[in-house]
A and B are shown apart, each in its own frame.
Chain A
Amino acid sequence: MSVVPAEVLPGSALPVDETASPAAAELGPRARLWPALGAVYRAQLSRARVARIPLLFVATFQSIGIMILMRGVVDGGAEAQAVVAGSAVLVVAFVALNLLAQYFGQLRASGGLDHYATLPVPPAAVVLGAAGAYASFTVPGTVVTAVFGCVLFGLPMAHLWVLVAVIPLAGAALAGLGAALGLLAPRPELATLLGQLGMSAALLLGVLPADRMPEVVRLARDLLPSTYGVEAFARTFGERPDWAFVLGDLAVCGVVGVVSLAVATWAYRRAAVR
């Protein structure tokens, strides 16, 4: 521990603990969380616009195609509600989980994380900015899918506004999961594989009506965060939705989102400094 004479402190803003030795240079500013998050979000959204629009079309058509197929199987009622809700959330899973896992997997493998790691950015800003951008990018596809599903199965559109809560919360849960998978996978191929598997799980467990599934599959369904987004959304198609359950399901999404984003932030820190 060295004692620093007051007269060598450059300027007045520099606290003593920042000064390692008398001749220490002033440190550059640290990027604060929210502005940095905003900058990452904006940059990621612009990259998504350039590179991901075709994929958004794929995601939307995939969900619409599934709904058209399922129309021959289910005949209205609770099952139709589950199919529409599941297809809409599937768009979120495709982009936020699958594509984000791939992105972070590739970024980690190619050394692209060095760029962020040598900037004075809070890790949370990088992870949340990217996750937020991917989640927002799902909005048009999810809305189109939901509206199309309502028309197709003759469901009421009165409560579609609930998507305002479903997309960010399911998006946070799935994007956090995607980011964590991408950053923890030792190889980029593995990150891609895990992302694809997660999306397939969301497809099979979220879209297909749960009542016809064996017990094991139902258990797996309960473990998947997207399920709660699907359930919350599906409930709002009812005559008199039970808002307490809707809120409960959304709360699960929110908690999973917070936990998985925290894990992803930890994984980022670990991946950036090897």
Chain B
Amino acid sequence: MRGLTKTYPAVRGRRGVPATPEVRATDDVRLDIRRGEIFGLLGPNGAGKTTLVRQLTGLMRPDAGRVEILGHDIVRHPERAARILAYLGQESTALDDLTVSLAAETTGRLRGLDVRQARDERDAVLDELGLQPLAGRPIKKLSGGQRRLACFAAALVGERPLLVLDEPTTAMDPVARRAVWSAVDRRRAERGTTVLLVTHNVIEAETVLDRVAVLDRGRVIACDTPSGLKERVAGEVRVELLWRERAPLDVPEVAALQDRVVESGRRWTLRLAPEEARAVVATVTGGAAFAALDDFTLATPSLEDVYLALGGDAEQGLVKA
């Protein structure tokens, strides 16, 4: 908690559900998030993202550690979290039977707005997100992406300086996604809103986040800007080879690569230094191997490569949407 930074220096170990082996869902996580930042939590299923978020929002007490949001100690005063942040969880069951407009209005009322304020804000947010045509429909009757957008609208009514969004754009079409990110950007530009985003989506993480923390088995294995993280593996290039039927192992250059590839069916993925990559491409695009090759790509590293290079669980990887 120094100056204008927002700090979550936390030593959190959360014992798992009883009767199963003890699980540390978050293990000594330390993160500082600055005001006005869009900060991402990235990691595979079960990495502890949701546990971490539940501790930040006061829904779950950490066993140890501190959470401080905008100068307030959330572990000592969990009830203050609700007055500083707006949380968009993954579940919409509490709002499902309401119409879009009543869900937004009620949420605003429960954030302490009076009737007039709540209605004004509701109308403004529904206009902003293009939800007016759906305002009178029950949320349950909407498609997955529309439902998500309606819940996002409810999260925005009753201004909060921190937005905690757990996979906000799941199942959304590109138009809805754009509406979400421009609404977030507007709030950040006009009011300095801070955003904590939980995501699976690597592509989205690369484009919208200022900084990202990669979580694996309850620990932060890296925390930097997306491009900063990518620089860590900048020396490497990803080569993907797609064979017609199977790899021509009779070609000695190809056989030599076999123990360095990640194989999935006809697809081989290699992480190589640029010169090596060039040599491999030259080998497979000429000579005997070319006949067996269907397609190939060369790519600079993505956040997924970073994640894998940092020692995340290579078998699982991140879900790429």
Residues of A within 8 A of B (CB): 19-25, 27-32, 35-36, 38-40, 42-43, 46-47, 50-51, 106-107, 110-121, 125, 272-274
Partner of A50, one of B58, B83, B138: B138
Known: A23-B71, A39-B110, A40-B110. A118 touches B87 (CB 8 A): yes
A-B contact count (CB 8 A): 134
Q: How far is the CB of A256 from chain B (nearest CB, A)?
A: 27
Which residues from B are CB-within-8-Å of A36? 109-110
CA distance A31 to B1 in the complex (A): 28
Q: Would B109 and A31 count as touching, CB distance under 8 A?
A: yes
CA distance A50 to B84 in the complex (A): 33
CA distance A112 to B113 in the complex (A): 22
CA distance A238 to B81 in the complex (A): 56
Partner of B58, one of A32, A115, A118: A118
Which residues from B are CB-within-8-Å of A31? 109-112
Partner of A20, one of B72, B81, B82: B72
Further contacts, 14 of them, CB under 8 A, given A114-B91, A115-B92, A118-B86: A20-B77, A23-B1, A25-B70, A36-B109, A38-B109, A39-B106, A40-B110, A43-B98, A47-B97, A107-B93, A112-B92, A117-B58, A125-B110, A274-B60
Q: How far is the CB of B84 from chain A (nearest CB, A)?
A: 6
Q: Would A273 and B109 count as touching, CB distance under 8 A?
A: no
Which residues from A are CB-within-8-Å of B61? 273
Residue B160 CB within 8 A of the other chain = yes
Chain B residues 93 to 141 lying within 8 A of chain A, measured CB to CB, are: 93-95, 97-99, 102-103, 105-107, 109-115, 138
Q: Would A273 and B60 count as touching, CB distance under 8 A?
A: yes
Known: A24-B72, A36-B110, A50-B138. A120 touches B59 (CB 8 A): no
A48: nearest chain-B partner, CB-CB: B97
Q: Would B72 and A28 count as touching, CB distance under 8 A?
A: no
Q: How far is the CB of A90 from chain B (nearest CB, A)?
A: 25
B158: nearest chain-A partner, CB-CB: A28
Q: Would B93 and A106 count as touching, CB distance under 8 A?
A: yes
Partner of B71, one of A20, A51, A121, A125: A20
Most buried by B among A47, A113, A116: A47
Which residues from A are CB-within-8-Å of B102? 42-43, 46
Which residues from A are CB-within-8-Å of B78? 273
Which residues from A are CB-within-8-Å of B82? 28, 117-121
Which residues from A are CB-within-8-Å of B77? 20
Q: Would A114 and B71 count as touching, CB distance under 8 A?
A: no
A106: nearest chain-B partner, CB-CB: B93
Q: Mark B42-82, 1 if CB is under 8 A from A, else 0.
A: 00000000000000011111000000101111000111111
Closest 5 CB pairs of A and B: A24-B71, A29-B112, A112-B93, A47-B97, A25-B70
Which residues from A are CB-within-8-Å of B95? 115
Chain B residues 139 to 176 lying within 8 A of chain A, measured CB to CB, are: 158-161
Q: Would A20 and B112 count as touching, CB distance under 8 A?
A: no
- 9 CB contacts below 8 A, A to B, read A27-B80, A28-B112, A28-B159, A47-B98, A114-B87, A115-B95, A117-B58, A118-B81, A118-B87
Partner of A114, one of B89, B98, B109: B89
B81: nearest chain-A partner, CB-CB: A118
Residues of B within 8 A of A (CB): 1, 3-4, 57-61, 68, 70-73, 77-87, 89-95, 97-99, 102-103, 105-107, 109-115, 138, 158-161
Which residues from B are CB-within-8-Å of A112? 91-94
Known: A20-B73, A110-B91, A113-B94. A46 touches B83 (CB 8 A): no
Most buried by A among B73, B102, B112, B114: B112
Known: A25-B84, A29-B83. A117 touches B59 (CB 8 A): yes
Which residues from A are CB-within-8-Å of B161? 25
Q: Would A111 and B89 count as touching, CB distance under 8 A?
A: yes
Q: Would A120 and B112 count as touching, CB distance under 8 A?
A: yes
Q: Would A107 and B94 count as touching, CB distance under 8 A?
A: yes
Which residues from B are CB-within-8-Å of A116? 94, 110
Which residues from A are CB-within-8-Å of B158? 28
CA distance A273 to B97 in the complex (A): 24
CA distance A223 to B70 in the complex (A): 51
Q: Would A115 and B89 count as touching, CB distance under 8 A?
A: yes
Most buried by B among A19, A46, A107, A274: A46
Which residues from A are CB-within-8-Å of B103? 43
A36: nearest chain-B partner, CB-CB: B110
CA distance A73 to B78 in the complex (A): 59
Partner of B83, one of A28, A107, A111: A28
CA distance A113 to B94 in the complex (A): 7
Which residues from B are CB-within-8-Å of A113? 94
Q: How far is the CB of A52 from chain B (nearest CB, A)?
A: 9
Q: How far is the CB of A167 from chain B (nearest CB, A)?
A: 23
CA distance A47 to B102 in the complex (A): 10
Q: How far is the CB of B168 from chain A (nearest CB, A)?
A: 15
Q: How far is the CB of A156 from chain B (nearest CB, A)?
A: 40
CA distance A30 to B113 in the complex (A): 9
A19: nearest chain-B partner, CB-CB: B71
